[in-house]
Amino acid sequence: MFSGPFFADYDKSIKNKIVEEGYDLVFSRPLGFVIAKVLSKIGLTPTNISVLGMLIGVSGGVMLYWQDSLLFTSVGGLLVIIAGVFDSADGQAARLYNTHTEMGRYLDMFNDMLVFISCYTAGLHFFWDQYTWAGVYGLGLASGYVHSLKSNIYEFYKGEFLHFSLTDSKQRNDTVEYIKENFDRTSTITRRVTYPILIDYVKKQNKYKFRSDETTQIFEEARAKRPEEFKEIYIEHCRRMLAGWAWVCGSNVMRNSIIVSSLFGRIDIYVIANILSYGLFLWIGKKQNKIDEEILTVIKDWELTSFEAASEPLQK
């Protein structure tokens, strides 16, 4: 995509182009790559980059309080966009220099959450006289919950795609039991704060992920038995669904929608639309279930023992 020695290892910084959104490939990843290399050269770690991006993003989110000022919302929106690029850069730096850490991935999720909380909280407080304090907090909590749920499930299906396409199984979340037994929550305040959020995140993912545990088990057995063949089947059936998940649940869509609505001084309209988008979320989940059923039909003659163990493998 890019020429010259500086960009020679650009592809190494990308997870998998199939799961990358077009917006990221054109905008966030190229800029994130530059930021990752430059800041790494001066000694910043991926965690440092992540925290810096969070501080920039939260600052931008706070500025969205002034919904009647185009200057403030423009600067705030720009800072939130820059934070999104830093959110890309920290992961790219980790892949470029092989400095992946368990905490780094969790911290990335935590920082992203803080940026969006600042946007919702500050932006909606401008409308307290219109909606009352109860209305503002009600809208904020409802929209935040839908936002969290959509982002969570989108990340689940990206992780599943990377796993079943034999690309990177590390992007899947560990089980709640594994996290409880192995997550070190005694060493730092950040870890103690992150732990309950992570547990809640994984529990929600398990509860709302649409794909049943029985279906996942069948897919796992198929992957183990015929890895390359199942890889092709999974990619063929699910790659288009990633675009659907991105348009309904992707952080880029939600982030840019917040910024555009704020520029018009009406972040409240986006917040209400985001709550209503829960219907689209359910619709795309049902579409995913149909795709899963198609995959199960394709592999039904593979003599998988999991089919026999699951009494209703096509149902959630």
Task: Tell me the C-alpha to C-alpha distance, in Å, between residue 277 and each of 139, 149, 175, 229.
Answer: 14, 11, 28, 36
Residue 255 maps to a domain: yes
Q: Which domain holds residue 221?
A: 5-309
Q: Provide the pLDDT confidence category of residue 310 given band limits of 50, 70 and 90.
A: low
Q: What percent of the chain has pLDDT over 90?
A: 63
- Is residue 231's pLDDT more than 80? yes
Residue 241 maps to a domain: yes
- Is residue 154's pLDDT more than 60? yes
What tokens appear for 247 in the block?
A: 């348009």
Which CATH number belongs to the domain containing residue 66 in this structure?
A: 1.20.120.1760
Q: What is the pLDDT of residues 16-31, one digit of tens each?
A: 778 888 888 889 999 9
Residue 59 maps to a domain: yes
| Average pLDDT score, the chain | 89
Distance from the first to the final alpha carbon of the chain: 41
Residue 266 maps to a domain: yes
> Residue 316: its pLDDT value, please?
43
Residue 316 maps to a domain: no
Residue 314 maps to a domain: no
Look up the pTM and report it.
0.88
> Residue 313: its pLDDT value, please?
47
Residue 61 φ then ψ, to 5° = -60, -40
Residue 124 maps to a domain: yes
Q: What is the pLDDT of residues 255-293, one digit of tens each?
A: 999 999 999 999 999 999 999 999 999 999 999 999 999
Residue 199 maps to a domain: yes
Work out the average pLDDT over 77-93: 93
Q: What is the pLDDT of residues 26-70, one digit of tens each?
A: 899 999 999 999 999 998 988 899 999 999 999 999 999 999 999
Work out the average pLDDT over 74-82: 97
CB atoms within 10 A of CB 297: 10
Domain total in the chain: 1
